[in-house]
């Protein structure tokens, strides 16, 4: 299937084949079901090296119990044809990656879990590259997604809003461009 990506002043859309995308599920885990806790956030991002653009493909944002974390994450990744599952390497993220070792086969497909390095940068600094790419029309969003308004609200309210997982997960998508492959990204962290 093809994705049609429209830029503001262009007559013709960019046509991107799904098979040309490197798809990654990026996870910001929060696994305690308490009123004050953030929800667990997962975004499926596709990156086209040919066009140097990102496509936000899908979103999960809900509170989940610790016991269900790996199955929820794996099912989301499988549904979106992800090549990797990248998990924020702080606190519970390290535990999720460790718990997934040897259990990354999903529906007969191996989708490895890897840690996303935060590199000691604060959330605002990590968000700057993708904000710049958005301004330069290199990031595309699904126009009719039922979750898009909530996602956009969380991004607009960052860094002062209550839920920052969408901004974090969007910021992490920038690492998809920096190296030749996700494997190189992970090998060089």
Backbone angles phi, psi at 110, to 5 degrees: -85, 120
CATH number of 2-187: 3.30.420.240
- Do 23 and 81 contact (CB within 8 A), yes or no? yes
* pLDDT tens digits, one per residue of 68-91: 888 899 999 999 999 999 998 877
Distance CA(85)–CA(114), nearest Å, equals 6
Q: Give the pLDDT score at 57.
A: 96
CA dist 139 → 24, 145, 154 (Å): 15, 15, 16
Element housing 4 (H / E):
strand 2-5
Q: How many other C-beta atoms are found inside a 10 Å radius of the C-beta of residue 180?
A: 8
Alpha carbons within 13 angstroms on the beta-carbon side of residue 60 total: 20
**Per-block average pLDDT, block size 10, for the chain (189 residues)?**
85 91 91 67 94 95 84 93 89 81 79 81 83 91 92 89 85 75 49
* Torsion sign across C-alpha atoms 176, 181, 186, 188: negative
- Global confidence as pTM: 0.86
pLDDT in tens, 27-39: 988 766 565 567 8
Residue 185: what pLDDT?
47
């Amino acid at each position: 299937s093809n994705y049609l990506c429209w830029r503001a002043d262009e007559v013709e859309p960019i046509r991107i084949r799904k098979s040309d995308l490197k798809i990654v599920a990026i996870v910001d885990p929060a696994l305690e079901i308490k009123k004050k806790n953030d929800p667990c956030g997962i975004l499926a991002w596709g990156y086209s090296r040919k066009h140097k653009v990102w496509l936000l493909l899908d979103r999960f944002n809900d509170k989940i119990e610790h016991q269900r974390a790996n199955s929820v994450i794996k099912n989301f990744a499988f549904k979106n044809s992800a090549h990797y599952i990248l998990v924020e390497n702080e606190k519970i993220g390290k535990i999720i990656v460790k718990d997934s070792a040897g259990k990354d086969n999903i529906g007969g497909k191996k989708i490895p879990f890897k840690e996303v390095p935060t590199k000691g940068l604060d959330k605002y600094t990590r968000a700057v590259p993708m904000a710049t790419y958005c301004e330069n029309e290199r990031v595309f969003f699904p126009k009719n997604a039922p979750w898009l308004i909530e996602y956009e609200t969380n991004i607009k309210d960052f860094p002062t809003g209550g839920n920052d997982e969408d901004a974090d997960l969007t910021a992490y998508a920038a690492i998809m461009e920096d190296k030749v492959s996700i494997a190189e990204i992970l090998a060089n962290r």
